[in-house]
Structure 1
Amino acid sequence: MGPHKVREMMKSEREMAKRRFRRQRNKNYLAKPGPHECVIVLDHLKPTYNIGKIFRSAEVFGARQIHLVGIDFFDPAPGMGAFKWVPAIFHKGFFSCYTELVNKGYTPFILEPDKGESIIQTKLPCKSAFIFGHEEFGISFEPDLFPKVERLTIPQF
């Protein structure tokens, strides 16, 4: 299979994902917040990779909602229907997400592989917002510009 055919197939798959997203988005407007006060923030993740799976995990764990920063659409298919149960809040940039969460009393946490306090040794507040950055490039903002953001690391064993 040549490179032209591969690009064509990828474009077709992306268009199908967009159609699935539009159909599921209408159902998401009726989603009710999960029983736990923690929220998840997805910062510029790839739309056809992990987002649907994260919705499935958020549903299982009872997360209040998921904030999507810089994400116009994603493929809901890997989420096995979870997109209709977990409220999604879309933001153009991180500043609006940060402001909304801090104003509601949330403590935002960046999960980084090698910086910050161990999540095991940290007492997390009920109103915690866990920020996950792009799979390849990490978070899209400079943490030092947002004074309420705390850094956590998940130890590797």
Structure 2
Amino acid sequence: MPGPNRKNIRQRYEKERRRNLLAQPGPHEMIIVLDRLKAGYNIPKIFRSAEAFGAREVHLVGIDTFDPAPAKGSFRKVPARFHDDFSACHTGLVAQGYELFLLDPAGGSLLQEAPLPPRSAFVFGHEEFGPSFERAAYPDLQCLSIPQFGSVQSLNVSIAASIVMYEYVRRRLGSGGG
């Protein structure tokens, strides 16, 4: 049986996006920012993890239609905020008191060693090209990396997002600190 065609995906997306308007923020102040990710399976899988880990919202920068089916209903449960560019997203989050962290497999503070305040926003760039912006334009953006020990240079973005969300929640449930 062939997979869904573009028209069916678009219809499903529009239906779920309308349902998303009723989504309630998760119990944690953590926000996930997806910066121009490919519109494949990773976006809905990240919504699924965001719902499981109680993320407040998922911000989508430069992302339009994607198939929400792999989210298993989570796209309607986690509020989605849409931005045309990273600048607008950054400005809004900083105004709300969020500290922003860019996940970068090439360097930065190790996830397990970095302080993660309650209002943390984690930015994940395009799987192949990285973030859509010049990092120098955002000096407040802190880089984080997830330690890896194999020869692979980076993790799948949905796996990396899940690890980051788990670490954030683990700290909230553990010692109560960042």
TM-score (norm 1): 0.90
Alpha-carbon separation, structure 2, partners of 1:16 and 1:126: 39
Residue identity matched to 1:89: R
Aligned mates of 1:17, 1:92 — CA distance in 2: 21
3-state DSSP of counterpart to 1:151: strand
Q: Is residue 31–residue 86 contact of structure 1 (8 Å, CA) maintained in 2?
A: yes
Match of 1:137 in 2: 129
Which of 30, 37, 41 is equivalent to 1:38?
30
Q: Please, what TM-score do these two structures have when normalized by structure 2? A: 0.80
Q: Percent identity?
A: 55
Q: What amino acid is the match of 1:27?
A: R
Equivalent position to 2:48, from 51, 56, 75: 56
How far apart in 2 are the matches of 1:21 and 1:53? 14
User: What is the total number of aligned residue pairs between the two structures?
Assistant: 148
> 1-side partners of 2:35 and 2:13: how far apart?
18
Alignment match, 1:74: 66
Name the Cα RMSD after superposition.
1.3
Q: For structure 1, which segment, 31-40 or 138-147, has the greater mean C-alpha deviation from structure 2 after superposition? A: 138-147
* Structure 2 counterparts to residues 57-136 of structure 1, below 5 A: 57-136=49-128
Where has structure 1 moved over 6 Å in runs of 4 or more? none
Query: Unaligned stretches of 5+ in structure 1?
Result: 1-8
Gaps of 5+ in 2: 150-178
1:112 maps to amino acid: D
Secondary structure of the structure 1 residue equivalent to 2:112? helix
Whichever residue aligns with residue 48 of structure 2, its letter is: R
Q: Which has the larger radius of gyration?
A: 1
Give how far 1:60 is off: 0.2
CA distance in 2, matches of 1:99, 1:79: 28
* Partners of 1:119 and 1:152 within 8 A in 2: yes
Task: Provide the C-alpha distance between the structure 2 equivalents of 1:151 and 1:141, rounded to a whole number of angstroms.
Answer: 14
Distance 2:59 2:8 in 1: 23
Measured after TM superposition, the shift of residue 144 of structure 1 is 1.0
Residue identity opposite 2:42 in structure 1: N
